[in-house]
């Protein structure tokens, strides 16, 4: 009986300690790593969410940009941080689902070295050209690409990104050849497109919607199954003769592996609460993104499933980054 009593006492103490930990959390600022440069789509979504959660909870959330290597540097920094709930990262399809296949020596495994917190948003990609481009429509682009294989080029944010692989899918579906020009950041690619140095740019709607709205770029098509709500006049690639075509990028919060489950649940609950509010959802829509929520388990399953899906496309494309 004494042994049973000690065991029950120990269990009660552990439960109480876990509850105290969750209730006391956070006792210091939370660092939210954005693995891309300031001003891009991922950065905007991260900051909007951090501001809303901080306003609702009183938490101090400090956003830190750690760009480089297709997002790998920032994600790796988060993966190697203390698993205490005070370091988060806003990952996305590229660095959580694509890069494990694209990079032979990736310094982290998103399924083993990270804890999924929850989805934040998703967004289609949009294919844009300069406002004064001779390519007035998506069909114009296809026709020219067929007439002059490899003559048209397109920019993306890097080899093996969702945009790059979506373009690979499109080329395979349409039987065309485009020349890929990978960039290290959205800002330089946008400037070069507007300046006429490149023909086309394929990136997420949040990254490019401002340029489309101010008339500096013209959108030819979006990669989602349905039209983007904030670009209602822009057709989908499926509509233009390639039914079933779909490629979207999602964004989600993760933390180092081993973060206590109570803290994971607390973070998930607070971010989900913020993402379900009309004001944050509206701000995301203004950026061309859709606010999403999920459980940690649902987000972990999405990472696993998309790792398999995009991994096959990477292998078929022959893309790799040393």
Q: Is the pLDDT of residue 17 over 90?
A: no
**What is the reported pLDDT for 184?**
76
Band (93; pLDDT cuts 50, 70, 90): very high
**What average pLDDT does this structure show over 223-243?**
94
Q: Is the pLDDT of residue 185 over 80?
A: no
Q: What is the pLDDT of residues 164-177, one digit of tens each?
A: 899 999 999 999 99
Give the pair of three-digit tokens for residue 115.
């804890």
Which option is the CATH number for 20-123+249-317: 3.65.10.10, 3.40.190.150, 3.30.930.10, 3.90.1660.10?
A: 3.40.190.150
**What average pLDDT does this structure show over 183-212?**
91
**What is the reported pLDDT for 81?**
98
Q: Is the pLDDT of residue 8 over 90?
A: no
- The candidate with the shortest Cα–Cα distance to 250, out of 307, 305, 201, 289, is 289
Least confident of 1-5, 48-52, 216-220, 257-261: 1-5
Q: Are 49 and 274 in contact (CB under 8 A)?
A: yes
Distance, CA of 206 to CA of 45 (rounded, Å): 8
**pTM to 2 decimal places:** 0.80
Q: Where does the chain show beta strands of DSSP type E?
A: 30-34, 61-65, 87-92, 114-130, 153-156, 179-182, 200-204, 217-222, 248-256, 290-291
What does the domain layout of the chain look like in residue ranges? 20-123+249-317, 124-222
Least confident of 11-15, 91-95, 191-195, 226-230: 11-15
Q: Which residue has the tokens 């990952």?
A: 91
**What is the reported pLDDT for 306?**
94
Q: Which residue has the tokens 């269990």?
A: 11
Q: What is the pLDDT of residues 240-295, one digit of tens each?
A: 999 999 999 999 999 999 999 999 999 999 999 999 999 999 999 888 889 999 99
Distance, CA of 64 to CA of 35 (rounded, Å): 8
**What is the reported pLDDT for 109?**
97
Torsion sign (Cα): 149, 154, 160, 161? negative
Q: What is the pLDDT of residues 101-121, one digit of tens each?
A: 999 899 999 999 999 999 999
Band (23; pLDDT cuts 50, 70, 90): low
Higher pLDDT: 319 or 174? It is: 174
**What average pLDDT does this structure show over 21-29?**
81
Q: What is the pLDDT of residues 47-68, one digit of tens each?
A: 999 999 999 999 999 999 999 8
The per-residue DSSP string of 181-198 comes to EE-S-HHHHHHHHHTTSS
**What is the reported pLDDT for 41?**
81
Q: State the architecture of 124-222 in CATH terms.
A: 3-Layer(aba) Sandwich (3.40)
Q: Which residue has the tokens 């300069």?
A: 130
**What is the reported pLDDT for 7?**
44
Distance, CA of 118 to CA of 264 (rounded, Å): 9
Domains 20-123+249-317 and 124-222 share a fold: yes
């Amino acid at each position: 009986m004494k042994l049973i009593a000690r065991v029950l006492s120990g269990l009660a103490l552990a439960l109480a300690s876990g509850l105290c930990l969750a209730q006391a959390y956070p006792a210091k600022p939370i660092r939210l790593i954005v693995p891309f440069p300031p001003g891009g789509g991922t950065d905007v979504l991260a900051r909007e969410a951090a501001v809303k959660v901080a306003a609702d909870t009183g938490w101090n959330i400090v956003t830190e940009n750690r760009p480089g290597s297709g997002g790998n540097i920032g994600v790796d920094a988060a993966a190697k941080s203390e698993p205490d709930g005070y370091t988060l990262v806003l990952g996305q399809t590229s660095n959580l689902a694509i890069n494990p296949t694209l990079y032979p020596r990736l310094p982290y495994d998103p399924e083993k070295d990270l804890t999924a917190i929850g989805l934040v948003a998703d967004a289609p990609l949009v294919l844009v050209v300069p406002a004064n481009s001779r390519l007035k429509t998506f069909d114009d682009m296809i026709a020219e690409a067929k007439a002059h294989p490899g003559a048209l080029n397109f920019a993306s944010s890097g080899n093996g990104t969702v945009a790059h692989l979506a373009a690979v899918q499109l080329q395979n579906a349409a039987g065309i050849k485009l020349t890929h020009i990978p960039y290290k950041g959205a800002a330089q690619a946008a400037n070069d497109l507007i300046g006429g140095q490149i023909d086309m740019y394929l990136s997420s709607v949040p990254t490019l919607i401002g340029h489309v709205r101010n008339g500096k770029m013209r959108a030819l098509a979006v990669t989602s199954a349905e039209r983007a709500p904030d670009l209602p006049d822009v057709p989908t690639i499926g509509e233009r003769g390639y039914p079933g075509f779909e490629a979207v990028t999602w964004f989600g919060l993760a933390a180092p592996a081993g973060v206590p489950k109570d803290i994971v649940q607390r973070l998930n609950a607070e971010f989900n609460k913020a993402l379900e509010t009309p004001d944050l959802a509206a701000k995301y829509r203004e950026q061309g993104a859709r606010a999403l929520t999920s459980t940690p388990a649902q987000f972990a399953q999405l990472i696993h499933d998309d790792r398999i899906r995009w991994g096959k496309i990477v292998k078929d494309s022959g893309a790799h980054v040393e």
